[in-house]
Structure 1
Amino acid sequence: MNQVSYSKIKDFLDGRCSDEERRSIIEWITRSEENERTFFRWEELYFLGKFKKPDLAKAEEKLLMRIKEECKARKRVLRMRYVFRYAAMIVTLLAITAFAFWYFVTPHTEWMLAQTTFGETKNIVLEDGTKVWLNENTVLKYPKKFLGNKRMLELDGEAYFEVAKNKQMPFVVEGKTMQIEVLGTKFNFKNRTGCRVAEASLLEGEIRARGNDDEGMILLAPGQRVELNSATKQMKIFATDAGMDAMWHDNLIPLDNANIFHIASILEELYDVEFILSPDIDKTVTYSGVLGRKKNIIEVLDILKETIHIDYKIHNNTIFISTR
């Protein structure tokens, strides 16, 4: 406020001005001796209008008291500003010290990333001895060293796990919609971004499947598969050939007391062919072991021909099986 009028001084003396105007008038008065004299003359005029015998000395004393109070208030504000400024500096220093202590003294996890592209699979071994196979188009985030009370990983895609046992440190794989917790087991887990259904199949041991949005929790036994539908928020459990669910990771087809009809149904799904079996084939004969997946069905049939003694003929996409 560069110019102060008599009407403003009247509002000031009457207590009708705002706090900002009041501060401006005080600053104007203390800016120069001339402003101070002008104010006293206007104050005298003000009191002459209100009282018959104005007490100029008392008016000046009242004004000086106001000016002193205002100056004290300004000093308190400045003092508080310095206090807050130093407090902020102390808090910042403490935060930096705490971070430095955490980073340089407290053990912390260094995260690693493994990923595959289209048509690519990859095998990695974690620091605890756990073996992981990544299917195509998969990303796995895992710690270089497991710390804390859990072995945590993040999966986007499909992976097969053979988990090293550690009862004191459960193994947890977190997907986009579902997480799997185990102590030591073999399982296949598929939870891909953009895929509506997440699923996990158990080969050995026991796993606990849990929805990330509290859809539920299910304990799986070997030979079971759990599916979580992200659209319906429902978790369901099914009987499955878990070895077949995870067959992609090693290209081995597991056979456990499988007869020729079961073997044929597996090959139909893998190679997109159709089998017709001779009526004289014995359904009670079973086979156990592993059958290696080959590039084409003919290579597989040649192996079966020598191991389980069958003959075959192929016409277009149909395969006829008979006994020797």
Structure 2
Amino acid sequence: MYNIYKRYNMMDETIVYRYLSGTATEEEKLQLLDWLKTSPENKAAFFDLKAIWHAKHSISPGNRTSDQLKDSLSVINERIDRFVPINKKTVNHLWKRWAVAAAVILLGFISISILYKVPKVTPDTDIVYVNQSPDSVRKVFLPDGTLVWLNTHSSLTCPSEFTGDQRLVELQGEAFFEVVKDTLHPFVVKTKAMMVKVVGTSFCITTSPDGAISKTTLQSGSVQLLRADGKKLVTLKPGQQAVCSEETDRIEVRHVNVDEYISWRFDLITMSGVKVFSIIESIESLYGVNIKMDTTAIKDNRYNFSFRKHKGASDALRRLSYMTGIPVDTIR
């Protein structure tokens, strides 16, 4: 059978099915993510295949409907193969024909499931992703294709499959999200201090160790900040950051250099327009060292400073000394 995905330079459906079944490799997951970002049509195609896959796996093994569904899709592909695409308009037309045919088959097998009273399998097991590493970032793909960078000493809890009206996850620590857009099912991140609601966007959330303070930094798109009871607090625009306190229910919104708050994904610590005291405090906190430096002559100066986290305190201090022209040492 000539695969419609390969013919139209689209994602191989076998990779999509391996992703949905949890057997895709990391390379295939990244390939799928890049394909989803290419166009809205690709995302629509993904959700069509996802619907078919779930329909196939919600039918009991006792019925032969699973094989019948696979055979029916093969017949559809064979029929489409008889047509020769001439231009983009023709390709879109054929794709619509395939989608409609697949939908008809899907409805037919849903009817069969209802007739035989076969219950739909709805996993209710939560998955907890934990990054206990002190010096590396963990990348995680969620069931909907959303990509998450989980920072050190952080954890993320989500269901094994998103069901219902929203895609809800819970965060403790720090994470950067690239959310797959789904206007019908908003993506919601819950922390102890607040909830963040999005449709499809890129943003970072940081919580304090006790969870009482939550910081949201928006790179692209739009996010809504909500209280635990669902009351809307504020809507952020790209380049804005909101800090929320659980105790006071107070929220502060400000404009920031977003790269400064999300560059940790690439092992880079970045600070912009800060005094030397803030740089010293950051290095001490990150590496657990005490720094000795005479800052009298430069205490009011502001600097842009960055360093690679994995290279350790000695490299950061060397850069600091070179930038300021003042010797730096550590106190044991």
Give TM-score, length-normalised by structure 2. Answer: 0.49
Which has the larger Rg? 1
Q: TM-score, normalised by structure 1?
A: 0.50
